[in-house]
Chain A
Amino acid sequence: MTHTTAVLLGVVATVVLDLVVLRTRLLTRRSFWTAYAIVLFFQLVTNQWLTARGVFVYDPDAIIGWRIGTAPVEDFLFGFALVTWSMAWWVWWGRRGVQRSAPRGPRPAVVRLATRRRRWPAGTTSRSGTARR
């Protein structure tokens, strides 16, 4: 089996895991695709770093040869599978009640300052004259 075949099977397995086995249905959610788009951007950067320097050396016979930058296109399908598996299991364990919500600890002062609410109450018109979004 080539790497190309393996990643295509990996993508199919991922879809089945999410929609049928775990029924997390992440692939139908805007939250998932937004998160995946962010991860994909960083995958482009980090995979370029690794493949351009030849940390991974691919057997030309194992891949189809299409590349995004210096990274074989297969890497992106592999990444899609890994990222989706990770998120799907996270959601699934949360559903099962394993640490569903994060414990509410005190917030660091610097974070309180950075995320401080505006002074005018919600629903009122701000100084710039725009109604609340």
Chain B
Amino acid sequence: MQHLTYVAMLVFVIVATLPLESVLRVGVYARLRRLGLVVLCAGVPFVVWDAAATRAGHWRFDTSQTLGLVLPAGLPLEEVLFFVVVPLASVMTLEAVRSTRPSWPVGDEVEAPEHHRDLP
């Protein structure tokens, strides 16, 4: 069971946020292209940071508590998935706040008043 310690945390986050998709209709799983771009723009730089810090010896992983698959970056599989799961949960939480408080702007509203392009 010990090797499931890390993956259990990831599963917990996914399971805990999943009901938001249907109950609050956050529609994040329904917008996989936009989610994929978030993972690319936010997840990837943090994986690079994480791999660099691991290589620099800031921390190490107890691989007896992971599934045992270590990726070429020197990170356990779970650690890389962390940077998919956390952006997903973050975005779902933001959309959940929007669902329950529609009058609070998030910034991507069609009529967002502060959205204007400056000339180059």
Q: Give A residues with C-beta under 8 Å from B.
A: 1-3, 6, 10, 23-26, 29-32, 34-35, 38-39, 42, 46, 49-50, 53-59, 62-63, 79, 81-83, 85-95, 98-103, 105, 107-108, 111, 114-115
Contacts and interface: CB of A to CB of B under 8 A. Distances in A.
Given A29-B104, A54-B62, A82-B87, A102 B94 contact: no
Interface string B54-70: 00111111100110000
Nearest to A102: B27
B22 A85 contact: no
Interface residues of B, number: 57
A89 B42 contact: yes
Interface of B: 5-6, 8-9, 12-13, 16, 22-23, 25-28, 30-31, 33-35, 37-38, 41-43, 45-46, 49, 53, 56-62, 65-66, 83, 86-87, 89-91, 93-94, 96-98, 101, 104-108, 110, 112, 114-115
